[in-house]
Protein backbone atom coordinates (compact mmCIF):
# COMPACT_ATOMS: atom_id res chain seq x y z
CA UNK A 1 0.00 0.00 0.00
CA UNK A 2 1.24 3.49 -0.91
CA UNK A 3 0.88 5.77 2.08
CA UNK A 4 0.02 9.46 1.70
CA UNK A 5 2.89 11.67 2.87
CA UNK A 6 1.19 13.87 5.44
CA UNK A 7 2.00 16.82 7.69
CA UNK A 8 -0.17 17.61 10.70
CA UNK A 9 -1.32 21.11 11.67
CA UNK A 10 -0.24 21.05 15.30
CA UNK A 11 -1.91 23.46 17.75
CA UNK A 12 -0.37 21.74 20.84
CA UNK A 13 -3.82 21.00 22.31
CA UNK A 14 -5.93 17.96 23.14
CA UNK A 15 -7.92 17.78 19.88
CA UNK A 16 -4.75 17.91 17.80
CA UNK A 17 -3.19 15.18 19.95
CA UNK A 18 -6.21 12.89 19.66
CA UNK A 19 -6.55 13.50 15.90
CA UNK A 20 -2.86 12.74 15.37
CA UNK A 21 -3.19 9.58 17.46
CA UNK A 22 -6.11 8.39 15.31
CA UNK A 23 -4.39 9.29 12.04
CA UNK A 24 -1.20 7.43 12.92
CA UNK A 25 -3.29 4.27 13.24
CA UNK A 26 -4.64 4.70 9.70
CA UNK A 27 -2.47 2.66 7.32
CA UNK A 28 -3.29 5.00 4.42
CA UNK A 29 -1.27 7.88 5.91
CA UNK A 30 2.33 8.45 6.88
CA UNK A 31 2.52 11.46 9.21
CA UNK A 32 6.14 12.57 9.56
CA UNK A 33 5.96 16.31 10.27
CA UNK A 34 4.15 18.79 12.54
CA UNK A 35 3.33 22.35 11.46
CA UNK A 36 2.66 25.08 14.02
CA UNK A 37 1.85 28.78 13.61
CA UNK A 38 3.80 31.14 15.87
CA UNK A 39 3.29 34.81 16.68
CA UNK A 40 6.81 36.00 15.92
CA UNK A 41 6.45 39.19 17.98
CA UNK A 42 5.82 37.26 21.21
CA UNK A 43 7.47 33.98 20.16
CA UNK A 44 4.38 32.10 21.29
CA UNK A 45 1.86 29.76 19.66
CA UNK A 46 -0.70 31.91 17.85
CA UNK A 47 -3.75 29.95 18.98
CA UNK A 48 -3.41 30.45 22.74
CA UNK A 49 -0.08 32.06 23.63
CA UNK A 50 1.89 28.98 24.70
CA UNK A 51 5.61 29.65 25.08
CA UNK A 52 7.80 28.47 22.21
CA UNK A 53 10.02 26.61 24.69
CA UNK A 54 7.11 24.36 25.69
CA UNK A 55 6.20 23.72 22.07
CA UNK A 56 9.80 22.65 21.42
CA UNK A 57 9.77 20.31 24.44
CA UNK A 58 6.43 18.86 23.37
CA UNK A 59 7.59 18.23 19.80
CA UNK A 60 10.79 16.63 21.09
CA UNK A 61 8.77 14.25 23.27
CA UNK A 62 6.57 13.32 20.30
CA UNK A 63 9.63 12.68 18.17
CA UNK A 64 8.49 14.17 14.86
CA UNK A 65 10.23 16.90 12.83
CA UNK A 66 8.56 20.29 13.18
CA UNK A 67 8.06 23.24 10.87
CA UNK A 68 7.11 26.74 12.01
CA UNK A 69 5.02 29.42 10.32
CA UNK A 70 6.03 32.79 11.77
CA UNK A 71 3.36 35.47 11.62
CA UNK A 72 3.60 39.18 12.50
CA UNK A 73 1.81 40.39 15.63
CA UNK A 74 -1.44 41.33 13.87
CA UNK A 75 -1.36 40.04 10.29
CA UNK A 76 -4.02 40.98 7.76
CA UNK A 77 -5.86 38.13 6.08
CA UNK A 78 -3.85 38.82 2.93
CA UNK A 79 -0.55 38.60 4.84
CA UNK A 80 -1.68 35.44 6.60
CA UNK A 81 -2.64 33.67 3.38
CA UNK A 82 0.53 34.76 1.59
CA UNK A 83 2.79 33.42 4.37
CA UNK A 84 0.76 30.23 4.68
CA UNK A 85 0.73 29.59 0.94
CA UNK A 86 4.48 29.99 0.68
CA UNK A 87 5.07 27.47 3.48
CA UNK A 88 2.58 24.94 2.15
CA UNK A 89 4.00 25.19 -1.36
CA UNK A 90 7.43 24.44 0.08
CA UNK A 91 6.08 21.35 1.84
CA UNK A 92 4.42 20.21 -1.37
CA UNK A 93 7.76 20.46 -3.17
CA UNK A 94 9.12 18.07 -0.53
CA UNK A 95 6.56 15.44 -1.48
CA UNK A 96 3.66 16.12 0.87
CA UNK A 97 0.24 15.42 -0.60
CA UNK A 98 -2.00 15.52 2.49
CA UNK A 99 -2.45 17.47 5.69
CA UNK A 100 -4.67 16.97 8.75
CA UNK A 101 -6.47 19.03 11.40
CA UNK A 102 -8.13 18.43 14.76
CA UNK A 103 -11.37 20.24 13.84
CA UNK A 104 -14.60 18.54 14.88
CA UNK A 105 -17.72 20.30 13.60
CA UNK A 106 -17.14 23.91 12.49
CA UNK A 107 -18.33 23.79 8.89
CA UNK A 108 -17.08 27.26 7.88
CA UNK A 109 -13.60 26.54 9.18
CA UNK A 110 -13.40 23.21 7.40
CA UNK A 111 -14.61 24.75 4.12
CA UNK A 112 -11.98 27.48 4.38
CA UNK A 113 -9.19 25.01 5.08
CA UNK A 114 -10.22 22.67 2.26
CA UNK A 115 -10.53 25.52 -0.22
CA UNK A 116 -7.17 27.04 0.73
CA UNK A 117 -5.25 23.74 0.68
CA UNK A 118 -6.95 22.37 -2.43
CA UNK A 119 -5.78 25.44 -4.34
CA UNK A 120 -2.23 24.44 -3.39
CA UNK A 121 -2.73 20.80 -4.37
CA UNK A 122 -2.91 19.45 -0.81
CA UNK A 123 -5.77 17.25 0.47
CA UNK A 124 -7.03 18.12 3.96
CA UNK A 125 -8.16 15.36 6.34
CA UNK A 126 -10.17 15.66 9.58
CA UNK A 127 -9.87 12.52 11.76
CA UNK A 128 -12.28 13.79 14.46
CA UNK A 129 -14.93 15.15 12.10
CA UNK A 130 -18.53 14.93 13.35
CA UNK A 131 -17.63 12.67 16.26
CA UNK A 132 -19.49 13.26 19.52
CA UNK A 133 -17.39 15.69 21.56
CA UNK A 134 -18.32 14.16 24.93
CA UNK A 135 -17.23 10.78 23.62
CA UNK A 136 -14.00 12.30 22.29
CA UNK A 137 -12.96 13.86 25.58
CA UNK A 138 -13.70 10.61 27.41
CA UNK A 139 -11.66 8.71 24.82
CA UNK A 140 -8.85 11.25 25.23
CA UNK A 141 -8.64 10.45 28.94
CA UNK A 142 -9.15 6.70 28.55
CA UNK A 143 -6.25 6.46 26.09
CA UNK A 144 -3.99 8.13 28.64
CA UNK A 145 -3.61 11.66 27.33
CA UNK A 146 -3.21 14.56 29.75
CA UNK A 147 -3.84 18.25 29.10
CA UNK A 148 -4.14 21.54 30.96
CA UNK A 149 -6.34 24.55 30.15
CA UNK A 150 -4.25 27.51 28.97
CA UNK A 151 -6.98 29.89 27.74
CA UNK A 152 -10.68 30.26 28.50
CA UNK A 153 -13.45 32.59 27.44
CA UNK A 154 -14.42 34.95 30.27
CA UNK A 155 -18.06 34.70 29.22
CA UNK A 156 -18.07 31.23 30.77
CA UNK A 157 -15.05 30.97 33.09
CA UNK A 158 -13.09 32.89 35.70
CA UNK A 159 -9.35 32.77 36.30
CA UNK A 160 -9.56 29.61 38.41
CA UNK A 161 -10.38 27.56 35.32
CA UNK A 162 -7.12 28.24 33.48
CA UNK A 163 -4.25 26.13 34.70
CA UNK A 164 -6.66 23.30 35.54
CA UNK A 165 -5.86 19.80 34.32
CA UNK A 166 -8.54 17.98 32.36
CA UNK A 167 -9.69 14.93 34.32
CA UNK A 168 -12.81 12.86 34.91
CA UNK A 169 -14.42 15.66 36.93
CA UNK A 170 -13.84 18.13 34.12
CA UNK A 171 -17.08 17.44 32.23
CA UNK A 172 -19.23 17.81 35.35
CA UNK A 173 -17.76 21.26 36.06
CA UNK A 174 -18.39 22.74 32.62
CA UNK A 175 -21.10 25.42 32.50
CA UNK A 176 -24.24 24.63 30.55
CA UNK A 177 -23.85 25.37 26.85
CA UNK A 178 -20.07 24.87 26.77
CA UNK A 179 -18.92 22.20 24.33
CA UNK A 180 -17.04 19.35 26.09
CA UNK A 181 -14.08 19.87 23.73
CA UNK A 182 -14.37 23.67 23.62
CA UNK A 183 -14.94 23.40 19.87
CA UNK A 184 -16.71 26.78 19.78
CA UNK A 185 -13.62 28.47 21.20
CA UNK A 186 -14.71 28.32 24.84
CA UNK A 187 -11.29 27.08 25.99
CA UNK A 188 -7.90 25.93 24.67
CA UNK A 189 -5.45 23.40 26.07
CA UNK A 190 -1.85 22.20 26.13
CA UNK A 191 -1.37 18.42 25.89
CA UNK A 192 1.64 17.36 27.94
CA UNK A 193 1.49 13.56 28.12
CA UNK A 194 -0.03 10.52 26.46
CA UNK A 195 0.66 7.70 23.99
CA UNK A 196 2.31 10.08 21.51
CA UNK A 197 4.95 11.13 24.06
CA UNK A 198 8.21 9.44 24.98
CA UNK A 199 7.97 11.23 28.34
CA UNK A 200 5.72 13.90 29.92
CA UNK A 201 6.48 17.58 29.33
CA UNK A 202 7.30 19.16 32.70
CA UNK A 203 5.89 22.62 33.43
CA UNK A 204 4.56 24.80 36.19
CA UNK A 205 1.64 27.21 36.21
CA UNK A 206 2.69 30.84 35.98
CA UNK A 207 0.88 34.16 35.86
CA UNK A 208 -2.79 34.39 34.91
CA UNK A 209 -3.93 37.40 32.90
CA UNK A 210 -7.16 38.75 31.42
CA UNK A 211 -7.19 40.16 27.89
CA UNK A 212 -9.96 41.69 25.82
CA UNK A 213 -10.29 41.60 22.04
CA UNK A 214 -12.58 42.99 19.37
CA UNK A 215 -15.42 40.60 18.62
CA UNK A 216 -15.49 39.10 15.10
CA UNK A 217 -16.87 41.50 12.51
CA UNK A 218 -19.71 39.15 11.61
CA UNK A 219 -21.20 39.59 15.12
CA UNK A 220 -23.11 42.73 14.20
CA UNK A 221 -26.55 41.65 15.38
CA UNK A 222 -28.31 43.92 17.85
CA UNK A 223 -27.30 43.11 21.39
CA UNK A 224 -24.05 41.37 20.44
CA UNK A 225 -21.02 42.67 22.37
CA UNK A 226 -18.24 44.37 20.45
CA UNK A 227 -15.60 42.96 22.82
CA UNK A 228 -14.79 39.50 24.13
CA UNK A 229 -12.56 38.62 27.07
CA UNK A 230 -10.25 35.66 27.70
CA UNK A 231 -8.31 34.39 30.68
CA UNK A 232 -4.82 33.12 29.85
CA UNK A 233 -2.47 31.03 31.96
CA UNK A 234 1.25 31.25 31.29
CA UNK A 235 2.95 27.87 31.56
CA UNK A 236 6.60 27.82 32.47
CA UNK A 237 8.92 24.97 31.45
CA UNK A 238 10.62 23.21 34.35
Cα 185 to Cα 110: distance, rounded to the nearest angstrom: 15
| pLDDT at residue 171 greater than cutoff 90 | no
The pLDDT of residue 221: 52
Q: Residues 46-68: what's their mean pLDDT?
A: 96
The pLDDT of residue 170: 87
Q: Where are the domains of the chain?
A: 4-125, 145-237
pLDDT band at 136 (very low <50, low <70, confident <90, very high): very high
Burial (Cβ within 10 Å: 0-12, 13-18, ≥19) of residue 226: exposed
8 A C-beta contact, residue 61 and residue 237? no
Q: CATH fold of 4-125, please? A: Rossmann fold (3.40.50)
What are the E-state strand segments in 109-226?
123-125, 146-153, 187-193, 203-214
What lies within 8 Å, CB to CB, of 51 at 6+ separation is: 43, 44, 234, 235, 236, 237
172-176, 188-192, 197-201, 216-220: segment of lowest average pLDDT: 216-220
Q: pTM to 2 decimals? A: 0.93
pLDDT, the chain, mean? 94
Amino acid sequence: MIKHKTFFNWSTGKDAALALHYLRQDQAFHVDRLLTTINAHYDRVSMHGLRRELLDLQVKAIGLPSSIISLPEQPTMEEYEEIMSKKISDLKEHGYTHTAFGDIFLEDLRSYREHHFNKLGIVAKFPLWKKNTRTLIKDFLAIGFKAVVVAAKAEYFDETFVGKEIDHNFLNELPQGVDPCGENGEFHTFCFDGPLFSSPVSFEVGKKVFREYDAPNHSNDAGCPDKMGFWFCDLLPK
